[in-house]
Structure 1
């Protein structure tokens, strides 16, 4: 199995533990709190279709509208920029996104090329214990569509101020909702000087407070690169980009095949030291960290619910490796 270049995740994670691992040596196998070895659990899930089905986006259906606009403009040689949101945002740091047009495949990306300081209206809501006499209270259902969304999001922050629980940061900003779109600002009733001072949502009355605040926003430029002229070439590129392992059934022993089959049905686990067959599977998956004597350090670097991708003959699988204590297996 050829080695792959270290990813940013590998570098960041290993950097924090490298010094400790070097000082600790490689003689201690992992032990749980009660002294028993944890189980290393392998789980496989078949992925239907090709990698193109997963990574080549249909911008007309699955992406925000500005992605299709960005693609069309950039393909025509026009510079397309956005603020606050990223063109062609991907599923994850290491998962590229591609698009296809007239038989040609393009990799979608973006770069920060500037910063703008802009002013946006911001809606914050505050709980009201007693409904104010004589004040106009509007119901959530009577609001414009953009104000309905703003109230729903700002309400998360208002509700969390006096209670435990999470807030969907990213939707909630600066303890409220930011109106960024010119269309949203124009169609909002709450932002108008004569807008309501109180709003009712789910039997709770909130005070409406509007401020106008400065935001420093990155300017993103949409970039596209031609990468393939055929389906097969695109599939080859994606295999090189996303696959962690490739295994041929013919190269496996009968016991190794049985382990993979069981991992496909539900999961397969063993305690360290692993059997010859399980060790063989881990080697073929190129997961050598789990075979090191110091699993507590080296194996734990790789452990978790992070998905990896395997080509098993001509079938794609996602798989995870994780440690579970004896009590939970």
Structure 2
């Protein structure tokens, strides 16, 4: 990415060293508080303040784990004992979404490793809409119906797949499997009325009647061993680790000119935008928050730059979610 032209660089340095006059003159004003009057790409900046520490945001206490975590896996990982989960990660952790827990004064990063694979056969429920809604044998598959909770969940998820067939829309990944709902747990299979030999052939859900289809299918499932790696013994050390993991640019308010600080205030309150070519104050701020590629009005053609980007930054003593969005036409 090319730097600013020399004349523009000199203007920026002059604004930083000698005051805000040049920057204020370039920034301009409008009814909505946005600066710039060019006809190129419009770059919108919004800042969302994060309350509290990163520990508050990312670390869970051992006695208050998220509902989806496997608590037996958590106990085993913290105690260094052998344990395995099948078909799902015990803490849903990934390199892009690490999980942390505090236990007896120590902070741990949770994860898992793949240790095996097993094959299992599960019944899969698929639903197919039928013409008309007057099928007498149809049972209510909703919350007010008589089906067990396991079947109500199965119908709701299979309905997502049935609704999406032939439509441009989709469904939530991870819930629908093989075009329907897989009864993976022994409890769900034992409770199910739809899986019984004399189970209903049709269900109704959200004003639609569906034909019930049950097929037993083979699944190959990953086996995971939960892990817990001790990271820190103090809140301060853990906060530093989280900053290094999640926070990008660090900007002191005294590092910015008055006009650049005004842009921060506008982006924090609502949103700030300018059309390329951007004002010197906006360029100054984009450099400070490590968004240099966006200074180029032809940013859409630059490899590796997304039109919408979200990142955490630190401004002064506060954390912010920084969101950049491009709209309008790019310069040639």
TM-score, reference length from structure 2: 0.80
Query: Shift of the alpha carbon at 1:150?
Result: 0.4
Give me the whole-angstrom Cα distance separating, in 1, the residues matched to 2:237 and 2:166: 56
Give me the whole-angstrom Cα distance separating, in 2, the residues matched to 1:263 and 1:189: 55
- The answer for the alignment partner of 1:104 in structure 2 is 106
Residue 122 of structure 1 pairs with residue 130 of structure 2: no
- The answer for the alignment partner of 2:286 in structure 1 is 282
Give me the whole-angstrom Cα distance separating, in 2, the residues matched to 1:111 and 1:99: 18
Q: 1:82 aligns with which of 78, 81, 85?
A: 85
Residue 169 of structure 1 pairs with residue 170 of structure 2: no
Q: Is the 8 A contact 1:58 1:99 kept in 2?
A: yes
Q: 2:196 aligns with which of 182, 192, 195?
A: 192
Q: SS state of the match for residue 244, structure 1?
A: strand
Give me the whole-angstrom Cα distance separating, in 1, the residues matched to 2:281 and 2:207: 62
Give me the whole-angstrom Cα distance separating, in 1, the residues matched to 2:174 and 2:234: 38
Q: Is the 8 A contact 1:256 1:278 kept in 2?
A: yes
Q: Is the 8 A contact 2:109 2:229 kept in 1?
A: yes
Query: Shift of the alpha carbon at 1:264?
Result: 1.1
Aligned residue pairs, count: 294
Could you tell me which runs of 5 or more consecutive residues in structure 1 were left unpaired when the two chains were aligned.
1-20, 28-34
- CA RMSD, Structure 1 to Structure 2 (Å): 2.7
- The answer for the alignment partner of 1:30 in structure 2 is none
Q: SS state of the match for residue 142, structure 1?
A: coil
Q: Is the 8 A contact 2:276 2:297 kept in 1?
A: no
- The answer for the alignment partner of 2:15 in structure 1 is none
Query: Shift of the alpha carbon at 1:171?
Result: 1.3
Give me the whole-angstrom Cα distance separating, in 1, the residues matched to 2:273 and 2:207: 51
Q: Is the 8 A contact 1:73 1:80 kept in 2?
A: yes
- The answer for the alignment partner of 1:3 in structure 2 is none
Residue 316 of structure 1 pairs with residue 319 of structure 2: yes
Query: Shift of the alpha carbon at 1:152?
Result: 1.2
* Residue deviations 1:133-171 (CA, integer Å, cap 9, x gap): 8x7433221000000110111122223335553233321
Query: Shift of the alpha carbon at 1:47?
Result: 0.7
Q: Is the 8 A contact 2:300 2:307 kept in 1?
A: no
Q: SS state of the match for residue 159, structure 2?
A: helix
Q: SS state of the match for residue 98, structure 1?
A: strand
Give me the whole-angstrom Cα distance separating, in 1, the residues matched to 2:124 and 2:201: 14
Distance 1:282 1:65, change over 3 A: closer
TM-score, reference length from structure 1: 0.80
Query: Shift of the alpha carbon at 1:61?
Result: 4.8
Distance 1:271 1:138, change over 3 A: closer
- The answer for the alignment partner of 2:25 in structure 1 is none
Of residues 63-72 and 309-318 in structure 1, the stretch that sits farther from structure 2 once superposed is 63-72
Distance 1:236 1:128, change over 3 A: same
Distance 1:162 1:238, change over 3 A: closer
Q: Is the 8 A contact 1:38 1:325 kept in 2?
A: yes
Residue 210 of structure 1 pairs with residue 214 of structure 2: yes
- The answer for the alignment partner of 1:138 in structure 2 is 139
* Residue deviations 1:276-312 (CA, integer Å, cap 9, x gap): 22222111112222235753433x7333333211111
Give me the whole-angstrom Cα distance separating, in 1, the residues matched to 2:62 and 2:184: 23
Distance 1:88 1:304, change over 3 A: farther
Q: After superposition, where does 1:2-41 map in structure 2 within 5 Å?
A: 36-41=39-44
Give me the whole-angstrom Cα distance separating, in 2, the residues matched to 1:242 and 1:160: 36
- The answer for the alignment partner of 1:301 in structure 2 is 304
Q: Is the 8 A contact 1:128 1:206 kept in 2?
A: yes
- The answer for the alignment partner of 2:276 in structure 1 is 272
Distance 1:61 1:138, change over 3 A: farther
Give me the whole-angstrom Cα distance separating, in 1, the residues matched to 2:318 and 2:47: 12
